[in-house]
Structure 1
Amino acid sequence: MTYQLNPATSLGIVKLKVSDIKRSIAFYEQVIGLKAIHTTDAAASLTANGADVLLELEQTSKPYSGSHRGHTGLYHFALLVPSRRALGNILKHFVDLKVAVGQADHMVSEALYLSDPDQNGIEIYRDRPRSEWAYDAHDRVKMATDPIDWEGILAEADQGPFQGLDRGTVVGHVHLHVADLNTAYQYYCELLGFSLESDWSANGALFVAAGRYHHHLGLNIWNGRGGTPLPPHATGIEYYTIKLANADELDTIVERLTKAGYAVHKNEAGYYTKDPFGIGIQLQ
């Protein structure tokens, strides 16, 4: 039987490289509604509840100014809010700020999209109850990109000034540009143990998860097949975090990666490695 991750697996901190730390802090506090803590002249940690870090920012020196097309890396990271009311609050905030956002009803969720000043993609979404998710004949979750119910979501919002992103917000998923879907499947499903929950390979994407979630990771080739990693000083993703269910599973994943020939380095937070596309992963 193929190895499968414990259903309690989730995602944690996303670290981004940015070109101007002050500008990025202002954006994530004033527009997204996070709170900056542990700031320095070149770095910051951001939280929704004042304690648990969701996002880390680090200013990169002499940022790469070339195109990100043809490269692997971040498509977007996604912040999951705990309710439709919370989504209504952030949507009302965007409307009040006159911030342009993309949107989609994915059947399993309702989502808003925008980018930070360095064009790092951001999704803010709420899940529908699992009892409302639909599955196809292959027992894979059905997803779509339908228009959201703008009026219905806004009607859920609180009256009064925006109080920041809901304290119950977590990192729900990360969507990545990869170079090859077969390689991505072999690494993320056959090696790490995520399950394929939705196969959009005909459209250049796979969605994988633990615990039958609709997806913890999106993997697409929309930036071009055969893409290469960005230069080290480019803005974009430094790493994202996979939170394993327990210490035994963490050890198992480290062992599986090592046996497969991937470099894994122990650090204060757990272990650090890179996927086949040069994208950093913090394991903990």
Structure 2
Amino acid sequence: MTVNAVRLNHAVLYVADLERSIAFYSAAFGMTVMAREPRANAAFLRLPRSGNHHDLGLFGVGAQPPRPRGSLGLYHLAWQVDTIEELEEARATLANLGALTGESSHGATKSLYGADPDGNEFEVMWMLPKAHWGAYENAAPIERLDLAGEVARWGGVRTAGELVPLGAADGS
């Protein structure tokens, strides 16, 4: 038997400076602090359109050397946007914050990459409508992202609400 999870609910990161990280995630994603736990030097943040209790937990642990890229552990978190236009807006936001580190097309998803002040990497991605995955349903290429072309093709298409229907994953 497997765990019957439907999606990642939240992430928790260790950060050097809690207030600096709160400021970054507020500026980059519009997150707000919905709770603090002073005994753990922690804050819990929520995305503006989220119905979740919290989407990101931050635990301040003080300055430490960054973990080398490519070493064991978490590579990145991925934040999904609803429209390709929101991905285009995210590119400008991340660039203005000096946090944009790359971009690519993975076929079914279009992605930007960034890093927070502690070097924690993240992805901001938009997913094609599932009916258009085609050859990408079982593939994840790494190709150049033509964001202007994707906006021209997919403008106005919302996909964040597409979920696997109940019972579809187990064949019932």
TM-score (norm 2): 0.73
> Is the contact between residue 110 and residue 127 of structure 1 (CA under 8 Å) also seen in structure 2?
yes
Aligned equivalent of 1:43: 42
Q: Does 1:82 align with 2:82?
A: yes
* Structure with the greater alpha carbon radius of gyration: 1
Equivalents in 1 of 2:82, 2:142: separation in Å? 21
- Cα contact 2:16–2:64 (8 A) shared by 1: no
Q: How does 1:90-109 map to 2 (within 5 A)?
A: 90-97=90-97, 99-109=99-109
Please tell me whether the aligned partners of residues 112 and 124 of structure 1 are also in contact (alpha carbons under 8 angstroms): yes
2:72 is paired with a residue whose SS is strand
Size of the aligned set, in residue pairs, is 155
Gaps of 5+ in 2: 162-167
Q: Percent identity?
A: 28
Higher strand share: 1
Separation in 1 of the partners of 2:67 and 2:6?
Answer: 34
Letter in 2 for 1:20: D
Q: Is 1:147–2:114 an aligned residue pair?
A: no
| Structure 1 unaligned blocks of 5 or more | 158-167, 170-209, 213-284
Q: Following TM superposition, by how much is the alpha carbon of 1:38 offset from its aligned partner in structure 2, in angstroms?
A: 1.1
Q: CA RMSD in A?
A: 3.1
Offset, 1:40: 4.8
Q: Where does 1:229-268 land on structure 2 (aligned, <5 Å)?
A: none
Matches within 5 A, 1:87-166: 87-97=87-97, 99-135=99-135, 141-152=138-149, 156=155
Judged with a 3 Å threshold, the aligned counterparts in structure 2 of structure 1 residues 154 and 24 are, in CA distance, closer, same or farther, namely: farther
Tell me if structure 2 keeps the 8 A contact 1:107–1:143: yes
User: Following the alignment from structure 2 to structure 1, what is the Cα–Cα distance between the partners of residues 43 and 80?
Assistant: 21
Aligned match of 1:277: none
Residue type at the aligned position of 2:84: R
